[in-house]
Amino acid sequence: ALMGAVCMALDIASLVDTGTGRQSRLIYANEEIYRQELERIFGRCWLFLVHTSQIPKPGDYFRTFMGEDDVIVIRQKDGSIKAFLNSCTHRGNRVCRADRGNARAFTCNYHGWSFAPDGALAGVPLENEAYFGELDRSKFGLVPVTKVSEYKGLVFGCWDANSPSLEDYLGDAKFFLDVWLDAMPGGSALLGETQKMVLGTNWKLPVENVCGDGYHLGWAHAGAMSAVQSMDLTGLSVGNSGVDLDGGLSVAGMNGHMVLSALDGVSGYAFYPDPKPILEYLEANRQTVIDRLGEVRGKQVWGAQVNITIFPNLQLLPGLNWFRVYHPKGPGQIEQWTWAMAENDMPEAVKTQILENQCLTFGLAGLFDNDDGDNLAACTEQSRGWRTAQMDVYTNMALGRSGKREGFPGDIAAGLVSEHNQRYFYRRWQEHMMAENWAEVPTYNINSLTAQEAEHA
């Protein structure tokens, strides 16, 4: 009953005010709020698990996390993909210690139980002698992730049987996702190994930084910007009138997913020491993409930098070509996993350039990541004090200055400098945290995709 009383004291409605752009600092530091996030956000939403290109063959597996739950994702003999908790059903040990590989079975280090790729308990040492043949193996398979589904190469898992389908969950964000996943006939892939970094930040801060914070670009990254060759700052239009919807966009209102884009070819390719190969690739294939995705996306979006956030913890940036998932490790820590991303139709030389440039900018020692890491860690740390925990933080820039743009889904604010997307992010966070179940979570795809689909059907 006491625990109940303490929980009641966490009045989620009062912690975030999206109408005025205010968040209590408790949401970055409080342990109980964090436990509720694991249940109501990470235990309920579709979470990115793996790209199909990372586990091409039967037996190929990849280890990841859903919230703090360690999960093995493995390609089955029939080509389908299953996912299981990486926890032995005997006494809980992990059954897989490697990050990725190919396995015919997972054998536990503790007492030697072994599990088949489909999760079934396949072997028990001394089964007859010690268990007298009375162990019902069928009750001790690895615990499967409730739902596993793929969208054009991206594999997601979900613990909640009552969630919407993955397609419905992604909703209008598919309009932007397809600009990487489906622009070219060869589809997409992640490049290289997983680049893992531990950061002392609450998981929400890097998500809302990338989902909407164009404000910090010219200040926090000023040094990095001037260090990289030929960075064209004119593309980072401020657009702070909030009414001119040409140029950069902050797109939200898509079921908690968000997009920040400079549009019209402004991209991280400007960072490249030699941008010629990628520019030639874009030029040579522009018409193909227009034919596949229509004029709006083919001309304005493909080849531009597009920061896509899939709620709660996945971010991918076509045009800057990094792909990232944030795994929470307590209220004040994350593991940030990054890959470079490419289209399969790109020439090898372009893929190499993409991987190198991703490491230079947003890799473990990346110019930009190092600027951000310290800021986000300090914002987290400064919310842990007795007095600072009573304070608020603000995302109140350009309130109410948003609208629609022809050809695009979502509720859109102009330019890259806005806190429009952050307000939608915290709104979605609050909606999930307050809802007892999926039925209480509102759906809002501001513009339906149907009009877009009709345009180039």
State the residues that interact with ligand FES by CB under 6 A.
88, 90-91, 93, 108, 110-113
In the bound complex, what is the minimum distance in angstroms from residue 74's beta carbon to ligand FES?
A: 18
Write out the catalytic residue numbers: 111, 213, 216, 221, 372
* Residues 6 or more apart whose Cβ sits within 8 Å of residue 299: 286, 290
Q: How far is the CB of 108 from ligand FES (least distance, A)?
A: 3
Structure tokens at 410: 């979502």
User: Residue 91 or residue 104: which is nearer to ligand FES going by CB?
Assistant: 91
DSSP 400-455: T--B--TT--SEEEESSB-SHHHHHHHHHHHHHHH-SSGGGS---BSS-THHHHHH
Q: Which does 372 bind (CB under 5 to 8 A by kind): Fe ion, ligand FES, none?
A: Fe ion
For the CB of residue 64, give the shortest distance to ligand FES in the complex, in Å.
21
Taking alpha carbons only, the member of 185, 269, 270 closest to residue 230 is 270
**Binds 111: which of Fe ion, ligand FES, none (CB < 5-8 Å by kind):** ligand FES
Contact 188, 342 (CB under 8 A): yes
Task: Rule CB under 5 A: say whether 343 interacts with Fe ion.
Answer: no
Longest dimension (CA), the chain: 77
Provide the Cα torsion 71, 156, 377, 6; round to 10°: -80
Nearer to ligand FES, 93 or 352 (CB): 93
Which is closer to Fe ion, CB of 69 or CB of 372? 372
Of positions 182, 372, 419, 431, contacts Fe ion by CB under 5 A: 372
Crossing angle for the helix pair 348-362 and 276-293, to the nearest 10 degrees: 100
Q: In 160-186, which positions are buried (b, 16+ CB within 10 angstroms) versus exposed (e)?
A: eeebbebeebbbbbbbbbbbbbbbbee
- Comparison of 113 and 215: residue with beta carbon closer to ligand FES: 113
CB nearer to ligand FES: give 79 or 112. 112
Whole-angstrom Cα distance, residue 62 to residue 53?
11
How far is residue 450's CA from residue 448's CA, in Å, rounded to a whole number? 5
Residue with Cβ nearer Fe ion (153 or 212) = 212
With CB under 5 to 8 Å by kind, the binding choice for 88 among Fe ion, ligand FES, none is: ligand FES
Residue (76 or 109) nearer to ligand FES, CB: 109
Interacting residues with Fe ion between 113 and 152 (CB under 5 A)? none
Binding-site size for Fe ion (CB under 5 A) equals 1
The interface partner of residue 93, options being ligand FES, Fe ion, none and the CB cut-off 5 to 8 Å by kind, is ligand FES
Which residues face 64 on adjacent strands?
Answer: 71
- The least distance separating Fe ion from the CB of residue 128, rounded to whole angstroms, comes to 60
Q: Work out what residue 91 binds among ligand FES, Fe ion, none; the CB cut-off runs from 5 to 8 Å by kind.
A: ligand FES
369 binds Fe ion per the rule CB under 5 A: no
**Which pair of structure tokens corresponds to residue 310?**
């899939």
158 binds, among ligand FES, Fe ion, none (CB under 5 to 8 A by kind): none
- Which one of 28-36, 61-69, 257-265, 365-373 is the stretch in contact with Fe ion (CB under 5 A)? 365-373
218: helix, coil or strand?
helix
Q: Which stretch binds Fe ion (CB under 5 A): 33-41, 165-173, 356-364, 371-379?
A: 371-379
Cα distances (Å, whole numbers) of residue 172 to 262, 433, 442, 450: 19, 22, 14, 9
Q: How far is the CB of 276 from ligand FES (least distance, A)?
A: 55
- Residue 113: CB minimum distance to ligand FES, A: 4
Residue 26: name its binding partner from ligand FES, Fe ion, none (Cβ under 5 to 8 Å by kind): none
Instruction: Compute the distance between CA of residue 27 and CA of residue 261 in angstroms, rounded to an integer.
Output: 27
| Helix 367-381 vs helix 204-212: crossing angle, to nearest 10 | 130
- C-alpha 344 chain-centroid distance: 21
Smallest distance, ligand FES to C-beta of residue 89, A: 8
Contacting residues toward Fe ion, per CB under 5 A:
372
